[in-house]
Structure 1
Amino acid sequence: MENGRKRELQRKMQARHVVMLSLGGVIGTGLFLSTGYTIQQAGPFGTILSYLVGAFVVYLVMLCLGELSVHMPETGAFHSYAARYIGPGTGYTVAWLYWLTWTVALGSEFTAAGLLMQRWFPSISVWIWSAAFAALIFVLNAVTVKFFAESEFWFSSVKVIAVVIFVLLGAGAIVGVIPMTNSQPAPFFSNVISAGLFPNGALAILMTMLAVNFAFSGTELIGIAAGETVDPDKTIPKAIRITLWRLIFFFVGTIVVLSALLPMSDAGVLESPFVAVLERIGVPYAADIMNFVILTAILSAANSGLYASSRMLWSLADKQMISPIFLTLTKRGVPIYALIFSMFGGGLALFSSIIAPDTVYIVLVSISGLAVVVVWMSISLSQYLFRKRYIQEGHSVKDLVYRTPFYPLVPIASFVLCLASCIGIAFDPTQRIALYCGIPFILFCYGSYYVTNKYKKRGVKYVNQNQSH
C-alpha cells in the first residue's frame, strides 16, 4: 500500500468508460422493475411526459455539472464544489447523502441479484448468491481503476443492447410488422390513450417525479469520474452529450413500448412488465432472457455504486473532513479502506432489509430517494455561484473550456424543477416518509459537521498554545 501522503488517483478512464459508467448507474432496477408502478400511477401518457420532464431536468443538471467538472476535474467532484461555493457544511452533507444513496442501493442490489438466481437454482439460499455477488463486485473494484472501468463497460453493454433490441421489437409489434401471439391485431397507440391522457389527474405526474428522478440517478457519476478520466476537458462534454441522447432513447423509448403493448391495468401488478411484453410478442424463453439482463443490470449498478461511494469517502478525507485513513491507496491507485467501508455499509443496508424491512430499511430507502434530488440541487446552485464569482474575480466567460448555456436560466430552472419534485412528495402519502426521514438526516449531517469542526479547531488551538510555551 502507498502512504496516504501520495494521494494520487490515476487517470485511466476513456470517454467510452465514462459514458458506460453513467449509463450503468442509471439503467438498473429503476428502469426494469419500477416502470410498471409509474405507468399505473400516472397513466401511459402521463408516464411518457414524466420521463421527458425527468430527462430535461437531468440534462439541465448535467449542463451545470459539465462547466464545473471541466473547469475543476476532481474525484468526488460535486461535494467539493458545494463546499467551495455554497458552504463547507453543505459540501459535507451532500457527500454523506450521496454516499448513503449508493450504499443503500448496494444492499438492495445484492438482495435482488440473489432473488433472481432463485429462478434457476431454487435450492441454493439467496444469502449465498448475495455474498458471492458482493465478493465479485468488491474484487472488480479493488484490482485497478482500468479493470473496474472495463468490467463496467461490458456489464453496461449487455443491458444497453438488450434495451435497444426490446425497443426495436416493441416498435415492430406496435405497428404490426411483428405479429402478436394469439393473432391479436397490432395495437398501435390505442393503449396509450385508452384511459384518457391523465387518468389519475395531472397532479399524479408531480407525485411520480421523485420516482422518475430516482430512476435517472447515476447520470451525475460523470462528475465523480472526472478526477480519473483521461483528458477531462474533451471527455466530459462528450460523455454528457452522448449520455443524454441515450437516456431519452432508452427510457422514453422503453416507456412508449410498454405503454403501447400493455393495458394500464396490467402494468403495475406484473413483476416485470418487460417479460409480459416479450411473451406477447412471442419471444421464446422471454422470462429467462430478461432474468439474465436484469441480473446484469443490477450487478452493473452495484459496480458503479461501490465505485461512487468509495470515491466520495476518499474525497471527504482529501478535504480533511473525515479520517485520513480513507486516503490510503493501493499500488494501483485504488482507495482500499474507502472501498472496504462502503462495502461494509452496503452489507449493513442488506442486513437491515432482512432484519427490519418495515422500519430501518424503509427509512434508508426514503432518504436515498430524496438525496439524489438534493445532490442535483447542490450542483445547480454551485454552478450559479461559481459563474458569479468567476466573473467578479475579473475572468472572462470566454476562457471557460465548457460553458453552461443560457446562464443564469439553466441553473435556476434545474434548481426549481428539482425543488418541485421534492414538494410533489408531500402530496403522496406513500412517499411522504422521504421528507420525514430525509430532512432530519440532512440537519443531522449539518450539525455533526459544525460540532466536529468546532472540536477540531479547539484541538489545533490547544496544540499551538502548548507549542508556543
Structure 2
Amino acid sequence: MSKSMDSFQQIVEQEQGLKKVLSAGQMGMIAIGGAIGTGLFLGSGLAIGFAGPSVIISYAIGALIALILMGCLAEMTIVHPTSGSFGAYAEHYMGPWAGFMVRYAYWACNVLAIGTEVTAIGIYMKFWYPDIPSWFWISSFSLALVLINAFSVNIFGLVEYWFSVIKIVAIIAFIMIGSYVVFGPATRVGDVVPGLHHYTEHGGFLPQGLWGMWIAVIVAIFGYLGIEMIAVAAGEAHEPEKAIKSAVRTTLIRLALFYLLTMGLMLAIVPWTQAGHEESPFVKVMTAVNISGASGVVNFVVLIAALSAMNSQLYITTRMMFSLSCAGYAPKQLGRLNKRGIPMLGLLLSTGGVALATILSIVAPKQSFTLMMAVSMFGALFTWFMIFVTHFFFRKKWGNENSQALPFRMPGFPYLTFLGGALMLAIMITTAFTKEFQMTLVFGIPALIFVSVVYFVWYAKKTDISQHM
C-alpha cells in the first residue's frame, strides 16, 4: 500500500460505522434524482429568457462540465469510498484548511438549499389548498422527511429511488408528448404553430448574444447540481466500485438527453419569448394536446422534485457534518451514530434551513427565497471548483507514489481537469455581473472568509499537533 493510501486509511477509519447497504440501482437514482429538480422544471423558463434558442448550447456546456466532474469524482471515489468524499479528498491531497472549507461550504449550501426547497413546497401546496398557511406544509413535510432520514439509510435510498422514478417518467412523458406536438399532425399552441422555425425567428438563434447564452450556463449548472451526491453516498454503498462505475456510465447520458431534448422541444413548441412567461413550459406542452388538469399534473411533479431534492439534501448535510465531526472540525456528539447507523444530532442540526425557512416564510417570504438561493449557489459552485482542483493534486500525488493503474481513469488529464476548473471559476466571476445572481458573491466570499478565520483561530494548531504526534 502506498503512503498516500496508508494515510488516507486514517480518514476512512475515522468515518466507520455507517451502514453499507445502498445498491447500484439506488446510487444511480440518487445521482439522477439530485440533478433533476426545480432547476429543470422551474429554472428552464429563466434560462430560456436569458439565452433564447441558444439555451441548448448553455445546457450542453453545463453537461460538459458535469461530465468532466463525474469523471474526476469517479477516479477519486473508487479509490477512496467514504462519506467525507470530496471534503476528505481535499483535506488529504491539498491540506486540512481545504478540507475544512469544502466540507463547511458544501454543508452550509445544502442546509440553505433545504430551506429554499421547503419554502417552494409551501408555495406549491397553495395550488390545491390556498387558505392553509405555508408554515403548516413546511412543518409537515419537513417532519416526514426527517423521519425518513432518521429511520435507516436503506429507507432513504428506497424513497429517493421512487421519487426519481416519478421525475424520470414525467420527463419521458414530456419528451414523447412534445415530440408528437412538434413532429406529428398539425397542432397549434394557441395561435402558434410548433416547429423548428422557432429556433431562428424572434431575433435569431442568439437573440441576447453570446453574453446571454453564457449567463444561462449559470442556470444550467444550477440544474445539474446534485450529481456530486453520489460521491458522498458511496460511503454507504454495498459495492462502491461497481455502483460508481455504473452510475457514471448511465447518469450523465440520461441527464444530457433529458435536459437537451427537453430544451429542444420546448423551444420548438412555443417561441422563446413566451416560454418563460405566465406558466411553465411543461404546462404549455400538455395544453397543446388538450390534456385536462395539466397545471395540476405539473404542480404534482414539481412538488415531488422539491421533496426529492430536500430528501437528498438532508441526507448529504447529515453525512458531511458526520465527516466534519470525525475529522475533529465539529463537536464529537454530531458524529455519534445510533443503533441504525444514523448520526441523529447531525441530522437535527442540518434541519436548520427548515427552521430558517419557516421563520422567513412568515416574516419576509419574497426576499428570503432569493437570498437563500444566492448564498446556497455560492457553496455549490465553490465545491465544484474545488473538486477539479483536488483532482489535479490527487493525480499528481498518485503518479508520484503509485506504480499501479487507477481502477477507473478519466481521459484527457490534465487538460479536461483544467478546463472544468476554469469554466467553474468563470461562472463564479460571471455572477458578479448579473443582476439576478449578484448576491452570490456578496454573501459567499465573506462567508468563506469567516470559515477560514474560524479554522485558523480554533483548528489550525490542533491539526498541526495531531499531524506531528
TM-score (norm 2): 0.92
Q: How far apart are the structure 2 equivalents of 1:436 and 1:184?
A: 42
Paired residue type of 1:20? M
Q: How far apart are the structure 2 equivalents of 1:358 and 1:424?
A: 24
Equivalent of 2:99, from 91, 94, 115?
A: 91
User: Which range moves more in the overlay, 113-122 or 451-460?
Assistant: 451-460
Contact 1:327 1:335 (8 Å CA) reproduced: yes
Equivalent of 1:192, from 194, 199, 222?
A: 199
Q: CA 1:324–1:203 in structure 2 vs 1: closer, same or farther (change >3 Å)? A: same
**For residue 433 of structure 1, what is the aligned residue in structure 2?**
439
**For residue 176 of structure 2, what is the aligned residue in structure 1?**
168
| 1:407, distance to aligned residue in structure 2 (A) | 1.4
CA deviations over 1:327-359 (Å, ceiling 9, x no partner): 111211111111111013332244235434576
User: What SS does the aligned partner of 1:50 have?
Assistant: helix
Pairing of 1:17-96 with structure 2 (within 5 A): 17-44=26-53, 46-96=54-104
Superposed CA RMSD: 2.3
Equivalent of 2:330, from 311, 319, 322?
A: 322
Contact 1:317 1:323 (8 Å CA) reproduced: yes
Contact 1:108 1:353 (8 Å CA) reproduced: no
Q: CA 1:6–1:52 in structure 2 vs 1: closer, same or farther (change >3 Å)? A: closer
Paired residue type of 1:28? G
Q: How far apart are the structure 1 equivalents of 2:442 and 2:419?
A: 26
User: What SS does the aligned partner of 1:426 have?
Assistant: helix
User: What SS does the aligned partner of 1:406 have?
Assistant: coil
Q: Does 1:377 align with 2:395?
A: no
**For residue 142 of structure 1, what is the aligned residue in structure 2?**
150
CA deviations over 1:70-99 (Å, ceiling 9, x no partner): 000000300111111122112111111111
| 1:268, distance to aligned residue in structure 2 (A) | 2.2
Q: CA 1:192–1:149 in structure 2 vs 1: closer, same or farther (change >3 Å)? A: same
Q: How far apart are the structure 2 equivalents of 1:225 and 1:457?
A: 27
User: What SS does the aligned partner of 1:331 have?
Assistant: coil
| 1:397, distance to aligned residue in structure 2 (A) | 5.0
Q: Does 1:421 align with 2:427?
A: yes
Q: How far apart are the structure 2 equivalents of 1:120 and 1:363?
A: 27
CA deviations over 1:142-193 (Å, ceiling 9, x no partner): 11110110011011111110000001110111112474466964x2211122
Q: Does 1:396 align with 2:403?
A: yes
Q: Provide structure 2 residue ranges, at least 5 long, that are not aligned to the other structure.
A: 1-12
Pairing of 1:104-143 with structure 2 (within 5 A): 104-143=112-151
**For residue 269 of structure 1, what is the aligned residue in structure 2?**
277
Q: How far apart are the structure 2 equivalents of 1:447 and 1:208?
A: 34
Number of matched pairs: 455
Identity of aligned residues (%): 34
User: Which range moves more in the overlay, 113-122 or 160-169?
Assistant: 113-122
Paired residue type of 2:350? S
Pairing of 1:199-278 with structure 2 (within 5 A): 199-278=207-286
Q: CA 1:368–1:183 in structure 2 vs 1: closer, same or farther (change >3 Å)? A: closer
**For residue 412 of structure 2, what is the aligned residue in structure 1?**
406
Contact 1:7 1:329 (8 Å CA) reproduced: no
Equivalent of 2:457, from 438, 448, 451?
A: 451
Q: How far apart are the structure 2 equivalents of 1:458 and 1:377?
A: 26
Paired residue type of 2:230? I
Q: CA 1:314–1:159 in structure 2 vs 1: closer, same or farther (change >3 Å)? A: same
Q: CA 1:267–1:172 in structure 2 vs 1: closer, same or farther (change >3 Å)? A: same
Q: CA 1:31–1:120 in structure 2 vs 1: closer, same or farther (change >3 Å)? A: same
Q: Which runs of 4+ in 1 moved over 3 A?
A: 4-7, 177-185, 356-364, 454-460
**For residue 342 of structure 2, what is the aligned residue in structure 1?**
334
Q: CA 1:458–1:87 in structure 2 vs 1: closer, same or farther (change >3 Å)? A: closer
User: Which range moves more in the overlay, 420-429 or 166-175?
Assistant: 420-429
Equivalent of 1:386, from 391, 394, 401?
A: 394
Q: Does 1:157 align with 2:165?
A: yes
Q: CA 1:96–1:340 in structure 2 vs 1: closer, same or farther (change >3 Å)? A: same
Q: How far apart are the structure 1 equivalents of 2:390 and 2:381?
A: 14
| 1:419, distance to aligned residue in structure 2 (A) | 1.1
Paired residue type of 1:159? K
**For residue 467 of structure 1, what is the aligned residue in structure 2?**
none
| 1:370, distance to aligned residue in structure 2 (A) | 2.0
Q: Does 1:283 align with 2:291?
A: yes
CA deviations over 1:120-140 (Å, ceiling 9, x no partner): 222322221111110111111
Q: How far apart are the structure 2 equivalents of 1:235 and 1:177?
A: 43
Paired residue type of 1:264? W
Contact 2:78 2:240 (8 Å CA) reproduced: yes
Q: How far apart are the structure 1 equivalents of 2:430 and 2:458?
A: 34
